[in-house]
Amino acid sequence: MIPELGQFALIIALCLSLVQAFFPLAGAWTGNRTWVRLAWPAVSGQTVFVLLSFGCLVWSFIQNDFSVLYVASNSNSALPFIYRISATWGAHEGSMLLWILILAAWSISVAALSKNLPELFAARVLGVLGLISFGFLLFTLETSNPFARLIPAALDGRDLNPLLQDPGLAIHPPMLYVGYVGFAVAFAFAIAAMLEGKMDTAWARWARPWTTVAWCFLTLGIALGSWWAYYELGWGGWWFWDPVENASFMPWLAGTALIHSLAVTEKRGLFKSWTLLLAITAFSLSLLGTFLVRSGVLVSVHAFATDPERGRFILAFLVTVIGSALGLYAWRAPLLKSEEGFGKVSRETFLLANNILLVIAMLVVLLGTLFPLFMDAIGGGKYSVGPQYFAAVFVIPTLPMVLLMGLGMHSIWRRDNVSRIVKRLRVPMLIAVVLGITLPWMIYGTPSIMTVVAIIAALWVIGSSVFGPVMGLLDKTQKVRITRSQWGMIVAHIGVGIFILGVTVTEAYSVHRDQALRLGDSVDVSGYTVTFESINKKVSGPNYKATQATMAVSRDGKSLMTLYPEKRTYLVQRNPMTEAGIDARLHRDLYLALGDELGDNAWSVRFQYKPLVRFIWLGCIIMALGGLIAVSDKRYRVAVTKTVKDSGQAALAGGKS
Partner 1 sequence: MTARQQRMLIVILVLIGVGIATTFGLRAFQENLLYYYSPSAVQAGEAPVGRKFRVGGLVVPGTVKRTDGEIDVSFDLTDNAAMVTVEFAGILPDLFREGQGIIAHGKLNQQGVFVAEEVLAKHDENYMPPEVAESLKQTHAGGPSK
596 binds partner 1 (CB under 8 A): yes
Contact with partner 1 (CB under 8 A) among 45, 168, 541, 576:
576
Using the minimum distance from each CB to partner 1, give the nearer residue, 573 or 643: 573
Residue 68 DSSP class: B
User: Which of the stretches 190-198, 258-266, 431-439, 576-584 binds partner 1 when contact is defined by CB under 8 A?
Assistant: 576-584
299 binds partner 1 (CB under 8 A): yes
Residues 144-183 touching partner 1, rule: CB under 8 A, are 161, 163
CA–CA distance, 231 with 237 (Å, rounded to integer):
8
The C-alpha angle with vertex 65 and arms to 59 and 71, in degrees rounded to 5, equals 85
Three-class HEC string of 168-233: HHHHHHHHHHHHHHHHHHHHHHHHHHHHHCCCCHHHHHHHHHHHHHHHHHHHHHHHHHHHHHHHHC
367 binds partner 1 (CB under 8 A): yes
Beta partners for 302?
A: none
519 binds partner 1 (CB under 8 A): no
Size of the site for partner 1 (CB under 8 A): 45
602 binds partner 1 (CB under 8 A): yes
Could you tell me the smallest distance in angstroms from the CB atom of residue 81 to partner 1? 24
User: Which of the stretches 81-89, 278-286, 473-481, 598-606 binds partner 1 when contact is defined by CB under 8 A?
Assistant: 598-606
Q: CA dihedral defined by 150, 151, 154, 159, rounded to 10 degrees?
A: -10
User: Which of the stretches 36-44, 63-71, 254-262, 591-599 binds partner 1 when contact is defined by CB under 8 A?
Assistant: 591-599
383 binds partner 1 (CB under 8 A): yes
Using the minimum distance from each CB to partner 1, give the nearer residue, 381 or 648: 381
Lateral strand order in the sheet of 581-584: 511-518, 602-611, 588-599, 581-584
Q: What stretches of 510-649 show up as alpha helix (H) in DSSP?
A: 613-631, 634-647
Using the minimum distance from each CB to partner 1, give the nearer residue, 450 or 638: 450
Contact letters for partner 1, residues 219-238 (x by CB under 8 A): ---------------xx---
Inter-residue contact 454 to 504 (CB < 8 Å) = yes
Q: Which helix (H) or strand (E) holds 609?
A: strand 602-611
381 binds partner 1 (CB under 8 A): yes
CA–CA distance, 615 with 495 (Å, rounded to integer):
9
Could you tell me the smallest distance in angstroms from the CB atom of residue 369 to partner 1? 12
Nearest one of 257, 225, 254, 256 to 241, comparing CA atoms? 225
Contact letters for partner 1, residues 499-518 (x by CB under 8 A): ---------------xxx-x
Using the minimum distance from each CB to partner 1, give the nearer residue, 348 or 633: 348
- Note the Cα 172 to chain centre separation in Å: 9
379 binds partner 1 (CB under 8 A): no
CA–CA distance, 234 with 593 (Å, rounded to integer):
7
353 binds partner 1 (CB under 8 A): no
Q: Which helix (H) or strand (E) holds 251?
A: helix 243-268
Contact with partner 1 (CB under 8 A) among 152, 155, 382, 481:
382
Q: CA dihedral defined by 212, 490, 484, 410, rounded to 10 degrees?
A: -110
523 binds partner 1 (CB under 8 A): no
554 binds partner 1 (CB under 8 A): no
Inter-residue contact 143 to 97 (CB < 8 Å) = no
Contacts to partner 1 by CB under 8 A = 161, 163, 234-235, 299, 301, 304, 364, 367-368, 371, 381-389, 392-393, 396-397, 514-516, 518, 567, 573-578, 593, 595-596, 598-602, 604, 606
